[in-house]
Amino acid sequence: MTDLPKVNNNYLIDFLVKLLNIPSPTGFAEPAIDFVEKELSQFKQLELSRTRKGALVAKWKVESDDAPVALTAHVDTLGAVVKEIKKNGRLKLSKIGGVQWPTVETEGVWIFTSHGEKIRGSVLIDTASGHIYSAAGSETLRSDDHMEIRLDARTTSKQETQALGINIGDCVAFDPRVEVTNGFIRSRFLDDKACVANIVAAIKALADAGLPPTRSVYFLVSNYEEVGHGASAGIPSDVAELLTVDMAVVGAGQESDEFNATLCIKDSGGVYHEGLNKKLRTLAEKHNIPYKTDVYPFYGSDGEAFWRAGGDVALALIGPGIDASHNYERAHMDGLLATTNWIMAYLLD
């Protein structure tokens, strides 16, 4: 079908599932950065470093080191921190990123204490018992005030919860609930771990085939995207083009689907770079990569964060279609493969 090096599907899925299972809400994403760094360290072609902000940078340097390019994707996810310990020992939360409460109601969580311990619990509405509240429970507003964490530990008071080692500001990570069936990957936080997996799988396919990129390339794995400023720092100033790899929006009114990669022309942050878009379309057509073009309604990207911070690059955004984003998401292997192939086509061009 395509003339590009063969992607190892099992490797891609295996890496993705492992990454999805590492809790990494924005601000607490270091374990995921560590994991990606360890994986990339097997490719001796890459020089690895970290920014002061904690993002991972991998440089694949080749002979022609003029006008290098960069790719970016993020490992941080939605999540929460402990906002308040209630009188009954349960926790109120403050959201990290665009969490919508109904999407995590009854989900399992880990609370990571500042002393390095983790405590299990789940998210409930404060009118959860059907035998007490009956229909009134469905009418309770799913808001910061009504959602709480019930800890799987013996506590009925603020003091007992504090004695468990829990403090205000502790990280709360929602379970991803990863499942792979029939080519579909169902999980929270495929945004944007799917795209990190696409980049890593592309690097592996090129390395295994002994094919270096045409120009030197920086891979920036960012760690603050879900709060808006991830890749605003960390892209070297000599980079000429930045390809952001992030999920495509699937749902009513959207052109994107789970079986294609998408080139995003416009999102909430405005329009991407026409010249680089044109290049990407040409590459997709040349290599038989199934793709769509689309416009995303409520969406900003790490590439735009870099533009806003003053980055002078041509900028584009591609990624696999993710159904029900920022909810219980789903991707398909075909969309992941299309994106991985597109990344390789770009790097070899």
Q: So which residues are the catalytic ones?
A: 225
Contact criterion met (CB below 8 Å) for 92 and 111: no
Instruction: Give the shortest CB-246-to-Zn ion separation in angstroms.
Output: 4
* CB nearer to Zn ion: pick between 57 and 264: 264
Q: Which residues pair with 267 in a beta bridge?
A: 270
Instruction: Give the shortest CB-152-to-Zn ion separation in angstroms.
Output: 30
* CB nearer to Zn ion: pick between 192 and 323: 192
Cα distance between residue 315 and residue 319, in whole Å? 14
Taken in order 116, 121, 123, 124, is the CA torsion positive or negative? Answer: negative
* CB nearer to Zn ion: pick between 192 and 267: 192
* C-alpha separations of 17 from 188, 224, 284 in Å: 11, 21, 27
* CB nearer to Zn ion: pick between 222 and 260: 222
* 312: preceding bond cis by omega (within 30 degrees): no
Non-local CB neighbours of 285 within 8 Å, separated by 6+ positions: none
- Nearest CA to 243 out of 344, 149, 98 is that of 344
Instruction: Give the shortest CB-29-to-Zn ion separation in angstroms.
Output: 13
Contact criterion met (CB below 8 Å) for 238 and 61: no
* CB nearer to Zn ion: pick between 206 and 248: 248
Cα distance between residue 264 and residue 140, in whole Å? 38
* CB nearer to Zn ion: pick between 192 and 334: 192
Please give the single-letter amino acid code of residue 326. H
Instruction: Give the shortest CB-76-to-Zn ion separation in angstroms.
Output: 9
Determine phi and psi for 207, rounding to 5 degrees.
-65, -45
* CB nearer to Zn ion: pick between 170 and 192: 192
Please give the single-letter amino acid code of residue 89. G
Tell me the residue nearest to Zn ion as measured from the CB: 192
Buried-exposed string 164-192: b where 16+ CB fall within 10 A, e elsewhere: bbbeeebbbbbbbebeeeeeebbbbbbbb
Contact residues: Zn ion, CB under 5 A? 191-192, 246
Cα distance between residue 112 and residue 166, in whole Å? 8
- Nearest CA to 75 out of 115, 20, 120, 143 is that of 20
Instruction: Give the shortest CB-39-to-Zn ion separation in angstroms.
Output: 20
Instruction: Give the shortest CB-86-to-Zn ion separation in angstroms.
Output: 32
Pairing of strands 147-151, 171-174: unpaired
Residue 215 DSSP class? S
Instruction: Give the shortest CB-329-to-Zn ion separation in angstroms.
Output: 11
Alpha-helical runs (H) found in 49-181: 130-133, 136-139, 158-163
